[in-house]
Amino acid sequence: MPPKKGSNNLSTATLLPPSFIITKSEQIATLWSGYGSITRLHLSSSCGQPKSMRTAILKHITPPLLSSDPKDEDEDEDEDEGHRRKVISYEVERWFYTDLLPSVNYKLVAKIPTLLYAAADPSSLGCCLLLEDLSIEYPLEATWSCGCDLAQTKSVLRWLAMFHAQFWGWEGPLRTPPREEKKRRGKAGVWEQGGYWYLDTRLTEFDDTPDSRVKRAGRWVDKKLKSEGEGEGERRYMTLIHGDPKAANIVFKRGGVEECAIYDFQYVGRGVGMRDVVYFLATSVSARLLMTREGEADLLDFYYGELVKGLRLEGRGRGRGVGEGYTREVMQEHFGLCMVDWMRFMEGWGRWGNAGWVERRVEQILDEIEMDL
């Protein structure tokens, strides 16, 4: 059954404790498919917040309610898979801010918005997150029209490398794909597989996709990517990935693009770091940076160099060889697998971003893979 809108009569003021005195508010966006809103709040100086925190961003999640009277559970399965994915994603984001980040030392990571307050919304299945307003110190938005330039691209790749290094080998509670989540209880954890486009959460689209080389490779590639998390030896290549590092979720510091911040952690979860890198390059980078194999290799080399730096720092802190065995060759293999996997998603959902580059490279990658397609 399609979702039905739930009622939400709570004012912004009632969602926050009395210590936050709101002088003005302005809605700046709505969440995907009408699952809530994003509002900039202007706070009174008497709130005790530093000057840089006199405005804050309220992410108010109010998911629609599923029909309580489905006629056929099997028929309902496909229709509400997307709804459950979104609801779980906001639970994941809240847990990331409220439980995961406070438990780790994440100084190594480039900027993540500071959580000021979080609470469940008693009028719905949602919640509210009050976050630092990044536009104060990071007012420059990533360029959608022509993609990130070289300096911006390297800034984002550095952020991703530091984030991946920080959470290399992370172990903790995990959330399973939407169809499996319906059978479990508990809202703790990040996604078992980070991102929103992995195969287990796109099975309906995959089944409906016409036959192609990419589709025939789809399940094999998915199995290979999952196998990187099996066994003690291979698990060393797994980390937490952001899951959605597109231009819309990236901002840059005032006075230059040497430092960026990334937000929206709805799809943070376990995976190989190349999932984030491929997604970012495929959706948000200027096509001219990817016109040649040399340009592509230069960007991957830069990410790998930054990752190695981060892993060395992590190793000093943890007292062991973090990232041992993760060679440039291993990363390149992961790059190829993730490229094919992203093409599989586009064939079912639609092409966007640097689709021409992806299609061209995936054909070459499939030619190199030793399997009968």
The pLDDT assigned to 143 comes to: 77
- Residue 56 has a pLDDT of 94
127 touches 120 (CB < 8 A): yes
pLDDT value at residue 204: 84
In tens, the pLDDT along 182-214 reads 666 667 999 999 999 999 988 888 999 999 999
Q: What is the pLDDT of residue 80?
A: 77
Tell me the backbone φ, ψ of residue 270, rounded to 5 degrees: -75, 150
Name the residue among 280, 268, 219, 228 with its Cα closest to residue 88. Answer: 268
210 to each of 169, 205, 207, 215, how far by Cα in Å?
A: 37, 10, 8, 8
Find all residues with CB under 8 Å of 324, minimum gap 6, and list them. Answer: 236
Residues of the chain with pLDDT under 70: 1-13, 45-53, 66-79, 105-109, 122-125, 181-186, 228-235, 256-257, 316-322, 370-373
**Sign (positive or negative) of CA dihedral 308, 312, 315, 320:** positive
Q: What angle do CA 116, 8, 124 make, to 5 degrees?
A: 70
pTM for the model stands at 0.89
> Distances in Å between the alpha carbon of 262 and those of 33, 221, 225, 249?
22, 28, 25, 6
pLDDT at 324 (0 to 100): 80
**pLDDT confidence of residue 319:** 53
Sign of the dihedral through C-alpha 207, 210, 216, 221: negative
CA-CA-CA-CA torsion sign (47, 51, 52, 54): positive
Contact 1, 79 (CB under 8 A): yes
